A and B are shown apart, each in its own frame.
Chain A
């Protein structure tokens, strides 16, 4: 009897723990809805969540929402692949070669802090107003977090481990695939996680360059005509897409870094996920 009780209790506590991350968002939305129903806020300035969702359903039925979302997803993914890839390569080269580091690093650090909005005129001038302009802006955004983390990951691998590899007479290739890369991987994946976040924020800016499609276009267009329902819908979509990409990145970490989870052993995190 007691066993069943504790099992039940255990299950309950897992369920509770799994729902904990959603508690604040749900709570906020509830308050928001109540505030709208009780007309504490002006509905033209802050439409209720239900209005926002019905507006979303309406746009979905018209086919506008899916189209804009898939176009945005295409731009985001292409930008991430190009920018993230370049960032990884640069970070890798600079991590391994001291000469390359001296040559590239300070330039990249200078470029890193230029705000996207300031770059728009230049990008229009060089790349025009087509898809390539939008994608390159996203790529530029994704490049830096990937670069910094790859570079940092590779340079901060424990030198004792490299020393050990050398004393086992590992070849250069083995040294890299068995020690340096796995050692740098947690930081690199962290960079991917950052890049995924930057990807969405860059996209909003990118989609103000003569766009006639995409979520960023939808929201700037709605801004122009003060269509609060669509503005808030776009904000919610961004939030959800951000959460989704973070979720994927986190799972990447779990899959590729399984040795790390085992090391941690009986930590709370792995217990919870192990019982899902």
Chain B
């Protein structure tokens, strides 16, 4: 039988990217910037967020969308620290959040009363890197309990990130983790990366992180042109409001 060729040339992520653009449009209409927090499981995303919500309560109104394969345990932990909405997305086994889930979550969030949206992605250094969620910046947690060569092993995650939070630094005296090597390997993948060094447990380094979050949320009030630069990633010349640049190790 004759065979007909149908030219398609459609990107597999086309639909997700269209939905991510819609997320971005809705957030910008309300001046709400968004951070996408990613890492491998157990590197401390939820604890960092718990401490962040507690410290910035009454200062920055942060809505959270948190994804997990199963259970809403993390959402319940986070909800104890904020009066703002914490939306749990149970992916039912899927290894990442996608833009459709974020768009659905936005329906429940009062964006007029929100200064910042933080998305806590599913713990995984592979898949979340491929899904645009409509965020303005990507933050990767990199725990000192992981190997220094994580950026070399998972280059896409670090290449597309804007900020790295090196977490659990209180454990450094007990671990063979070489901070300088880890930073060099990450910058080898993405020279523009900016670093924070934190221990959410002891509070070390948290001030720089909290200043960054405050500044990032307030950037939403900047003129549209400046906000475009936020979406494009960190600019070489820091703008007012981002005081955490000094956190670079």
Q: Are both chains from one complex?
A: no
Chain A interface residues (CB < 8 Å from chain B): none
